[in-house]
Structure 1
Amino acid sequence: MRLKKMAYGHKTEHRLRVRAHVVLHAARGRSNARIARETGLHLDTVRRWRGRFAAQGLPGLKDRQRCGHPASFTPLQATEVKALACRLPAESGVPLARWSCPELAREAVRRGIAAFVSSSTVRRWLTEDAIKPWQHRSWIFITDPGFRLKAARVLDLYARTWQGEQLGDDEYVISADEKTSIQARCRCHPTLAPGKARAIRVSHTYGRGGALAYLAAYDVHRAKVFGRTEERAGIIPFMNLVTQVMSTEPYASAKRVFWIVDNGSSHRGQKATARLTAAFPNTVMVHTPVHASWPNQVEIYFSVVQRKVVSPNDFADLTEVRDRLREFEDRYNATAQPFQWKFTTSDLDDLLARLDRHTADHYEEASVASTA
């Protein structure tokens, strides 16, 4: 029964089905020559499968274990290439900024790790441990001694909390900054619309039509943007933005309006805080940590502007840039929803703990390297 199921089963592999038919023909008393003629197999093939079935039964119809092609490289060679990839090229005396698979293969041969190794083999080895030496990311150590306090104040405001107390209905949180040097690049040839299997085509050559700064204030909880364009960023343009917002309701009569800003020259330090409070007594300026503008939510809005308005940059002049930004601002405000900000003070503490461990490991490695 099992032999017939193997011979006529729809899910049986073809090679097993053919071997089962050979055995069934033999069970009917047919000679090897006749079986070979009816199945189209070589006489020696028929004789082999009849003999294996007679000696081992059904398991004899399966392929025997094969040793396969001998390995071309040893595990040690693969490990040495991975170790090489985990070192900077300059440490190995190679004038490269970062490794690529062809360069690693060439260096492995030069060092005598292998007589020959292809870049595809190197890539396969690196993929096993997710090693990607051709990629790079920038990072910076925290230099602001008040990083935790400043960042926590911003995160608390996003959660509608200030100094341990909930904000009232007449208190608002504004995130503000400048997006500088938005250029008007007049393309030398008209931009072509997309088509079937074709992206938008923008001429590489262009004429410069000047640049401007886009200042924006984003109400974090109401998802409303106030923007303006200026010839350049600075103290006066920033105060113009503040006046634009604070002269409208509900901010003009609000109990408090918190302005979250980074440490740019337009609003840096205690002088900027005093200047803001003097102009509008119900405002409170809150600075993000130094070199950490990422907690400022208006940066998210600027990334939207960059993707949807500025790129690809194709404007006849600065007037067109101003009009496009103003119209997009109205379009955005019509449907905007608050950003789903999920990074809390607990996440901040976890991040700082990881950075502390990373910093300790970095200095430990540096001290070991200096004494080696």
Structure 2
Amino acid sequence: MGRMGRPTVDVVLTDDERETLQRWAKRRTSSQALALRCRIVLACGDGASNTQVGKELGVHPVTVAKWRKRFAADRLEGLVDEPRPGALRTVSDERVEDVIVKTLESTPAGATHWSTRSMAKATGLSQSTVSRIWRTFGLKPHMVDTFKLSTDPQFIDKVRDIVGLYLAPPEHALVLCVDEKSQIQALDRSAPVLPMMPGMPERRTHDYLRGGTTTLFAALNVATGEVIGQLHRRHRAAEFKKFLARIDKEVPEGLEVHLICDNYATHKTPAIQRWLAAHPRFHMHFTPTYSSWLNQVERWFGLLTERQIRRGVHKSVQTLERDIRAWIKLWNEDPRPFTWVKSADEILERLTGYLQRIKDSGH
């Protein structure tokens, strides 16, 4: 006799319910949890079993059974999270949806983005209510981020090449992320820095005295996190050639050297090409244009800036260079490699999503 399990609740959808579920599942303003529940119910409504739905959507069959049962009992209202103990809601779902739609799909007259005050005036809600709705749905109209799309015709090939070096580096080879942090300024404050005290942060003047600049050439070992660094007062192909010679000296002779660089002109001059031809174990891999995020040494430069340069006080270039060398030495005593987790396909798929959003925006 076959094993008896729990009986499956049949899900029969009306046309209105199916339309609403499809709209909630596709709309960008829906939370990810609600969108998943809608897809579960839609699949159940098509006659799929809990196991089939779970396999298709990547969730456990028990989760499918839970939302199948909730929908059968309470219909669309059953897909919304149960209210927590407290006062009854005074703002309906329709008014919440109105705030979200206005925030995402319109702008107020005479302004580029909504504020809590302007949204409250437009919807008849209080500023605190608008603020709570925005926090709940992760909306931040006052913030803006920037991006730059690469125009490199070899973008896909270069992404696959570099990500391949990160995820599957060649044997008997060293992968180094190389770049220059140029024009690092030695800045001294116009008055002494006042140290931090209980209840009071460190204080410093907003103006400063310039003491000159330096350039840091750095090569980050992808496998170990160790950094080879060299400082120069100028930033030319001649200095980059000296840095390549430094790398050649420090890397054991039996290893091939793969360098990940950007498209800066100093990396491609005839002098550099001649040097590379004379050192065949060196292989250059260039990031696509406007894609410095592919070079892991940029992340390391960010740490150097955050922990040493930004709040440092340097009366001269010499003291600045001394502190940078000391920081590199300290880093190499306990290096920490950056773990790359995204495959090339995942990166390209996400970029495709951005491009689709741009296309759908109507601009």
SS at match of 1:200: coil
* Alpha-carbon spacing, 1:70–1:222, altered in 2? closer, same or farther (3 Å): closer
Structure 1 equivalent of residue 137 of structure 2: 129
CA displacement at 1:276 relative to structure 2: 4.2
CA displacement at 1:281 relative to structure 2: 2.5
CA displacement at 1:304 relative to structure 2: 1.6
Structure 2 equivalent of residue 349 of structure 1: 345
Structure 1 equivalent of residue 110 of structure 2: 94
CA displacement at 1:121 relative to structure 2: 2.1
Q: Give the alignment's TM-score, normalised by structure 2.
A: 0.68
Aligned equivalents of 1:160, 1:139: Cα separation in 2: 28
Alpha-carbon RMSD: 2.6
* Alpha-carbon spacing, 1:357–1:189, altered in 2? closer, same or farther (3 Å): closer
Structure 2 equivalent of residue 79 of structure 1: 97
CA displacement at 1:248 relative to structure 2: 3.2
SS at match of 1:149: helix
* Alpha-carbon spacing, 1:206–1:125, altered in 2? closer, same or farther (3 Å): same
Structure 1 equivalent of residue 217 of structure 2: 215
| Aligned pairs, number | 277
CA displacement at 1:242 relative to structure 2: 0.9
| Residue pairs, 1:48-67, within 5 angstroms | none
Q: Which amino acid aligns with 2:295?
A: N
Any gaps of 5 or more consecutive residues in structure 1?
1-67
CA displacement at 1:228 relative to structure 2: 1.7
Tell me if the contact between 1:180 and 1:214 (Cα under 8 Å) persists in the aligned partners: yes
CA displacement at 1:202 relative to structure 2: 2.2
Q: Which amino acid aligns with 2:127?
A: S
- Select which of 117, 120, 124 maps to 1:105: 120
Aligned equivalents of 2:358, 2:207: Cα separation in 1: 45
Q: Which amino acid aligns with 1:177?
A: D
Q: Which amino acid aligns with 1:167?
A: E
Structure 1 equivalent of residue 198 of structure 2: 196
SS at match of 2:105: coil
SS at match of 2:257: strand
Q: Give the alignment's TM-score, normalised by structure 1.
A: 0.67
Structure 2 equivalent of residue 28 of structure 1: none
Cα deviation 1:292-312 (Å, max 9, x = unaligned): 111212112211211221021
Structure 2 equivalent of residue 118 of structure 1: 126
Q: Which amino acid aligns with 2:359?
A: Y
Aligned equivalents of 1:275, 1:247: Cα separation in 2: 18
Aligned equivalents of 1:173, 1:337: Cα separation in 2: 15
Structure 2 equivalent of residue 151 of structure 1: 159
* Alpha-carbon spacing, 1:100–1:226, altered in 2? closer, same or farther (3 Å): same
Aligned equivalents of 1:145, 1:275: Cα separation in 2: 26
Identical positions, percent = 26
Q: Which has the larger radius of gyration?
A: 1
Tell me if the contact between 1:276 and 1:283 (Cα under 8 Å) persists in the aligned partners: no
Structure 2 equivalent of residue 327 of structure 1: 326
Structure 2 equivalent of residue 258 of structure 1: 258
Any gaps of 5 or more consecutive residues in structure 2?
1-86
Aligned equivalents of 2:337, 2:98: Cα separation in 1: 51
| Residue pairs, 1:229-240, within 5 angstroms | 229-240=231-242
